[in-house]
Amino acid sequence: MSNDEVLQVMQEILGDSRVLTLATVHDGQPWATTMFFALEGMNVYCIVEDRGEGMTNLKKNSNVALVVDDRTPNRFVQAAGEANIVQGAEDAKWRRLVLDKVPEYKPFFEMVTTSVIRILLKRIHVTDVPRGWFPAKSLKI
């Protein structure tokens, strides 16, 4: 098993999914938020409500964790990274990437004020029980 194989399986799992759970923290209290996402390279892009708990926490602490699964604990990705709010012209590019995965939710995102965040993955764990990857295969990036 090579690092490239772990990254390939991670990209397969993330490519097949539309939703992730993002964990943030504020004043020592964890918070989990479910959101839509898209992957580009080693960056995860999400659209986040500006007035939501997740965004409030991100503005104070950019360290995050995430999990992508299909609610069956046999093939999933866990990761840690750093989230940053995308600014300017880049916002439209990455917003489109996410909305292309979930076009039916575009009206929702037009009803609330949102921002795009970029999560730079720093550590990943890929579990794939059918491949015999349990416990997870881990990489620091």
- Give the model confidence (pLDDT) of 97-114 as tens digits: 999 999 999 999 999 999
For 77, phi and psi rounded to 5 degrees? Answer: -120, 135
**Structural domains in the chain?**
3-140 (2.30.110.10)
Question: How many other C-beta atoms can be found within 10 angstroms of the C-beta atom of residue 127?
Answer: 19
Confidence of residue 68 (pLDDT cuts 50, 70, 90): very high
Residue 1: what pLDDT?
78
Confidence of residue 14 (pLDDT cuts 50, 70, 90): very high
**Locate tokens 């690092």: which residue?**
3
Mean pLDDT over 46-53 rounds to 96
Confidence of residue 96 (pLDDT cuts 50, 70, 90): very high
Beta bridge partners of 139: 124
**Locate tokens 């080693």: which residue?**
42
Check pLDDT > 90 for residue 116.
yes
Q: Of the candidates 130, 135, 103, 141, which has an alpha carbon nearest to the alpha carbon of residue 12?
A: 130
